[in-house]
Amino acid sequence: MIYQIYPLSFADSNGDGWGDLGGVLDHLDHVASLGVDAVWLSPFFRSPMRDFGYDVSCHTEVDPLFGTIADADAVIAKAHRLGLKIVLDQVWSHTSDQHPWFKASASRLDGKEDWYVWADPRPDGTPPNNWLSVFGGSAWSWEPRRRQYYLHHFLSSQPKLNLRNPAALDAILATGRFWLERGVDGFRLDAVDFMAHDPALRDNPALPPPGGMIPLKPFGLQRHDHDMLHPDALDIMRRIRALTDEFPGTMTLAEISSQPGAFGRIADYARADHLHLGYTLRLLRGDFSAASLEDALREAAAAVDGGAMCWAFGNHDVVRVATRWARGDRTAQHALMMLLGSLPGAVCLYQGDELGLPEAELTHDQLRDPFGITYWPEFAGRDGSRTPMPWHALAPHAGFTEGTPWLPVPEAHRALSADRQEHDPRSALHGWREFLRWRKTVPALVQGRLGAVWREGDMLGFERVLGDTRLLCVFNLSPLPGRFGEDQAELPGWGTAFIPLSGDAESVAA
């Protein structure tokens, strides 16, 4: 199991209101106490922070906001002492427009003129094609020094790297080698579906509005055949895998978009000579129901070898699962915890979800996220899942900082602070610890493949199979009691059951 830390919101060690590596160091014991195996650290590299770390201006320097390279080394060393692996978030599809590489490319200097994706305007001066940014508007911005447009899939300040250029790819891989040599155990690779695009820059075909209604985000009005998902990305992944293979025991985890065919892409991306693991944003952005989860499990089973699959219900980009799916119901949260931990393959847990934190409700003047600011009030952005971790209920700002936090700490989160939950044996925190401790005693849950999948209304069941052991996992994904199976066994609302069907029954007694 992998625990995601978003450092800006984890803990502030110097009182400036921003989470930093010193704060991560101070609270790694909390993470280790959960019983997870690894920590995924969101970016702490040098950045102008227009997209809060996902716009990197130097991949081998720690931004002073987070501390120093010595702080990064200390986090890596302490994690290893605690038995935790460190997986760094790497943003290799794009950089900040403040990166020296982009400045040189924009000026056609130092042989870097083709390190980014440049294109001439159409005869009428408009962008070279109809591609759209995920964050809204054209995916192209004009650069007057070159008299050309450059490609950006997100903010205009996040220009797309041309990873078909061998020198550019070598340079980005060299930054990965820098961190591997410092002892990190692998990489989570951001936005891999955008690593390569159609070199002919053909227009994307239109999609009819879903349900006949124009969507909030026009990105959904195109079929993204050409601006992303290009098979040349596989060649880039082979190079990444070759690098990590030089460092035995390291791993790569790919973030895969919610575009159609996500599970098939995980299978393609996680072959023996490509990456190790992949997870898709499809579940994080889709509707929640037993039927939708059944579909996801069946698609995953048909497409992906179980060892390549990773699952996540939350992260720093989506509404917190306690609000989005559990709707504040503690029993539902407990069931979702057990469901997540029972899925085949690796699992990601986002910081604060072990406390059952709900989505924070922020006012427009409290927002930092440019995505949310652009689409307010119809879309509140990503800040509601990024508010600071509440460590101490009675401390200022719940113990996150002695200064003014970069995002406010909701009062509702104080009651769910880590220190209060430590003293409550019925808390979400204790529930996670107990479940993960039990999970490690059940080899079929940790190592078993996915067997039969079935659904009866809101009741979802699937088997985990390891050798001669078959374990049936059943989840009632409804607040109402329900029955399942030939003997019509009853489960209460949001109830769970683990039923040994064969093998060593004692080893799977919950």
Domain check: are 244 and 334 in the same one? Answer: yes
pLDDT computed for residue 304 by the predictor: 85
pLDDT of 306 reads: 67
Same domain, 181 and 315: yes
Q: How many CB atoms lie within 10 A of CB 166?
A: 9
* DSSP secondary structure string for all residues of 12-50: -SSSSSS--HHHHHHHHHHHHHHT-SEEEEPP-EE---S
Answer yes or no: 190 catalytic.
yes
* Whether 359 is catalytic: no
CA 166/CA 286 separation, integer angstroms:
37
Check 190, 193, 227, 369 and give the catalytic one: 190
Whether residues 211 and 346 fall in one domain: yes
Q: Is residue 113 part of a domain?
A: no
Residue at which a domain ends, from 395, 417, 439:
439
* Catalytic choice (29, 246, 273, 434): 246
Pair (371, 453) in one structural domain? no
Residue 295: inside a domain, yes or no?
yes
Residue 100 in any domain: the answer is no
Total domains in the fold of the chain: 2
Statement to judge: residues 423 and 474 lie in one domain: no
Q: Are residues 214 and 296 in the same domain?
A: yes
Same domain for 220 and 321, yes or no, is yes
Closest CA to 9 of 55, 63, 66: 66
Instruction: For residues 331 and 359, state if they share a domain.
Output: yes
pLDDT of residue 443: 95
For residue 360, give both structure tokens. Answer: 């924070």
Tell me the C-alpha distance between 139 and 129, whole Å: 9
Percentage with pLDDT > 70 across the chain: 98
Query: Residue 143: its pLDDT value, please?
Result: 98
> Are residues 175 and 26 part of one domain?
yes
Residue that the structure tokens 């693991």 belong to: 277
Q: Residue 138 domain-assigned?
A: no
Please give the Cα distance from 204 to 444 (Å, whole number). 44
CATH number at residue 461: 2.60.40.1180
Distances (CA, A) of 445 to 336, 398, 415, 471, 488: 15, 36, 32, 8, 24
Dihedral over Cα of 50, 70, 401, 403: its sign: negative
* DSSP β-ladder status, 38-41 and 2-5: parallel
Which of 407, 439, 471 is the C-terminal boundary of a domain? Answer: 439
Q: Assess if residue 317 is contained within a domain.
A: yes
Last residue of a domain, one of 439, 462, 482: 439
pTM over 0.85: yes
Name residue 222's amino acid.
Answer: Q
Which of 31, 406, 372, 28 has its CA nearest to residue 217? 372
- CA–CA dist 418, 351 (Å, integer): 11
Look at residue 492 and tell me if it is in a domain.
yes
Whether residues 230 and 373 share a domain: the answer is yes
Give CA–CA dist 244/299, Å, rounded.
29
Q: Give a yes or no: residue 149 inside a domain.
A: no
State the average pLDDT for the chain.
95
Low-confidence ranges of the chain (pLDDT < 70): 306, 503-510
Residues 375 and 489 in one domain: no
CATH number at residue 403: 3.20.20.80
Q: What is the pLDDT of residue 199?
A: 98
Lookup: tokens for 451: 């067997």
Q: Are residues 174 and 42 in the same domain?
A: yes
> For residue 472, is it within any domain?
yes
Length of the chain in terms of residues written:
510
Return d(Cα 278, Cα 265) in angstroms, integer. Answer: 9
Domain span at residue 54 reads 2-95+166-439
